[in-house]
Structure 1
Amino acid sequence: MVGKHSKVKKNKPLLGNHQKCWIWGRNAVRETLSAGFWTIWELFLSDRLPAEELEELEACATKHSVPVVITSDKTLTQKCRAGDHQGMIAKMAPFPYADPEQIRQQTTGTPLYLILDRVQDPYNFGAIIRSAEILGTDAIFLGEQEQCDVTSLVCRTSAGAVNHVPLAQVPNLVAFCQQLKSEKINVLGTAMQAEETLVDYSFTHPTALIVGNEGTGLHPDLLAACSHLIRIPQQGQTESLNVAVSAGILLYEASRQRGFQ
């Protein structure tokens, strides 16, 4: 029970509990800090970092109004509960998902969207985001159910790419796909039984590419909502490709057809 003279401390909302509210590692922290997109509540830097690097990071933090604490490696490890922080950790606000309608209104030219159906492994999710950002995807749309959220592990696996490609949550992926089709955007799914291969499809058309769950693939309702189905040709004995690898192959083909050099 709080006494009437006690002060209740109101904490700012965080990304999550324990490790989830922290990101760490040189690439993830530096990209997130310099982008100024995802709010950092506090930046903690090791006192063993080179003086020039500390000065550079502090200047960038000041630019974005981020408080900086210089402390020991031991303190950083205790806070993020990980030893691979490379002398940089950041306490994060909840991830700022984009508005789906705003993304679609602001997308110009021939859009290339990526839709994720229940991707649950943070390593896969982060790797997909990294590939999508590098290969020119306009935005990534996620379902709200059974989908991995943007966590510190996702951010680190993406090497900070979460700051550079819009990510939006939608309540109903099937309804969203139907809406895209009504706007003349091809909804493209993958299936082993598809007649077309990825090189047969013209990615120069407005396209929303769907990749599915690691274990079960695309949900049957989403598969039925696709306007086109393609497959990635395979020669080996393994039943299927990892979802992050599949997404990378498909997005590379899209970029190649769109003039990626």
Structure 2
Amino acid sequence: MVGKHSKVKKSKPLLGNHQKCWIWGRNAVMETLSAGFWQIWELHLSERLSADEKQTAEDRAKQLSIPVVIATDQDLTQKCRASDHQGMIAKMAPFPYSTASDVIQRNIAAPLFLILDRIQDPYNFGAIVRSAEILGSDGIFVGADEQCEVTSLVCRTSVGAVNRISIAQHSDLVQLCRDLKRADISIVGTAMQAPEILPSHNFKEPTAIIVGNEGSGISQTLLNECTHLVRIPQQGKTESLNVAISAGILLYEASRQRNFA
């Protein structure tokens, strides 16, 4: 354990500047520690945490060779620039994205993937990741441009689920769709005027679901790559659903068919 005033080298690459290089909150930090997937450079714990909380976090950090600093709540607030840290903050390395080929080539009989087309709100991104992990998605693909990165806010919103599901970054989502189709994976998008309603589509087959940008939806170039378009039945007068809600509905229907139908 490192003392309160110990210095840690700062030459390692970080997730980002200021808040972006820190995650905080008990759930997000402990889930990241537990998973052991996303590298933590430093773990800072509040001196006010219970002995059991500190011991659990310190034991896991020791297993992963992570330096631990015990500090005041004020020290933690100053470092992560947020007061809702609940006594735990962690300085993070850059997020370890998977490669698309690694995800596609896994030996999964009927994969269920999710493709995110330019999701820019970190709250939406984190909520989508959380739903995808809970509902059994086998991987998430994101573009390299106009797409929110996996940040501390995404991690917190996902309650650490970014550590539990493969997230692959790809420079060309159109080419990705073509590669998936060559692997006999259907590409399913949504459109308000689509003739097929969501419950009628067969999600038991190998499938990649696309959800689109908060403002403009799925780009036309990706719509052109879809093998199926479905619509979510709506009864109200509001024009459209939030993208994170839409993703959750689509993934729930796929999970329902695969596990309970």
Specify the TM-score bucket, using the shorter chain as the normaliser. over 0.9
Residues 198-234 of structure 1: CA distance to partner in whole angstroms, max 9, x if unpaired? 1010000000000000000000010011000000000
The alignment partner of 2:140 has SS state of strand
Residues 36-90 of structure 1: CA distance to partner in whole angstroms, max 9, x if unpaired? 0000000000000001111111001101111100110000000000000000000
Question: Kindly, what percent of the aligned residue pairs are identical?
Answer: 67
Structure 1, gaps ≥5 residues long? 1-8
Would you say the 8 A contact 1:211–1:218 is kept in 2? Answer: yes
Partner of 1:258: 258
Deviates more, 1:172-181 or 1:124-133: 172-181
TM-score after normalising by structure 2: 0.95
For residue 107 of structure 1, report the CA deviation from its aligned partner.
Answer: 3.8
Partner of 2:203: 203
Distance in 1, matches of 2:190 and 2:76, equals 43
Number of residue equivalences: 253
Runs of 4+ in 1 over 2 A off after TM superposition: none
Alignment of 1:64-213 (within 5 A): 64-213=64-213
Distance in 2, matches of 1:228 and 1:257, equals 17
Residues 153-209 of structure 1: CA distance to partner in whole angstroms, max 9, x if unpaired? 000000000000000011111111011111110000000010001101000000000
Deviates more, 1:177-186 or 1:224-233: 177-186
Deviates more, 1:159-168 or 1:179-188: 179-188
Residues 75-134 of structure 1: CA distance to partner in whole angstroms, max 9, x if unpaired? 000000000000000000000000110111114110000000000000000000000000
The one-letter code of the counterpart of 1:62 is: K
Partner of 2:231: 231
For residue 260 of structure 1, report the CA deviation from its aligned partner.
Answer: 4.9
The alignment partner of 1:42 has SS state of strand
Distance in 2, matches of 1:145 and 1:55, equals 41
Structure 2, gaps ≥5 residues long? 1-8
TM-score after normalising by structure 1: 0.95
The alignment partner of 1:209 has SS state of strand
Distance in 1, matches of 2:206 and 2:126, equals 24
